Amino acid sequence: MNINKDIFLAKDGHPSLKQFYFIGAPFEKALEFYLKRRIDLSDFYQNLRPKLSYLNEEYSLSQKLDLLSPLEITGSSKYLLLETKSNWSLLIGNNKEGTDFSCVEYEAMLWKVKALTIYLKPYFKKDEFGIVSFCLYDGSKPISRHECEARIIQLYKETSRIEFSEYGTPLPFEQTEKYNERLKKNRLTVEMVEEYCKHLGIALFDLDFYQSKAALIEILRNK
């Protein structure tokens, strides 16, 4: 194991290490899913096309992230898919605000897999605005045309107040007693999210967990 929380939690660190999008499928299957998704979107927008490159497995996580530069102000033009040492794959976009989560539930339902998103921005001091969240979607269990079974736990500060919210049925491993803590900032901590991930087979802060196959998908404009 090669645990290094500082790389993930440093306030001035890479934005994509503060917003995680795990796809509940092995690398080859997740790549098949996501590449087809980008091809379908390219067909819709017509002037775009995805370019796939496989990366050297010996690259460190930092070296892989370097390939996402430059970071985009709006949208993403590059996506990095990482194999992990479990049956989850990690998708990373190159937006300066971090990976986009807007289509996660739709994609989980499209692919009939589980999807996990995590925010790790524990900035709750005065004049800080942050969020810590753990959101698990089960795309194989739709409850409507646009929704699937989900468990969402969030601690966030958008104004001067810290807010806590939860939705869905608690998972067996959750520390639900913490959700009633008097200090709201203690109701969902980075350590709790890390522990929840362990129960899903995800070693969140272990650099070796991400040291395997990787692919870069670049969105190019047709000339």
pLDDT tens column, 65-89: 999 988 888 778 899 999 999 999 9
Contact 78, 102 (CB under 8 A): no
Instruction: Provide the pLDDT for residue 45.
Output: 65
CB count in 10 Å sphere of residue 14 = 19
pLDDT, position 99: 86
Domain of 136 in residue numbering reads as 3-220
64 phi, psi to nearest 5 deg: -65, -45
138 Cβ contact list (under 8 Å, min separation 6): 108, 114, 148, 149, 150
Predicted confidence at residue 20, as pLDDT, reads 94
User: How high is the pLDDT of residue 199?
Assistant: 98
> Left (φ > 0), alpha (ψ -120 to 50) or beta: where does 193 sit?
alpha
Positions in the chain whose pLDDT score sits under 50:
none
pLDDT tens for 105-130 read 999 999 999 999 999 998 888 888 89
pLDDT of residue 28: 97
Q: What's the pTM value of the predicted model, to 2 decimals?
A: 0.93
Tokens for 139? 């795309």
What Rg value do the Cα atoms of the chain yield, rounded? 17
pLDDT (0 to 100) of residue 36: 93
Total structural domains in the chain?
Answer: 1
pLDDT of residue 16: 78
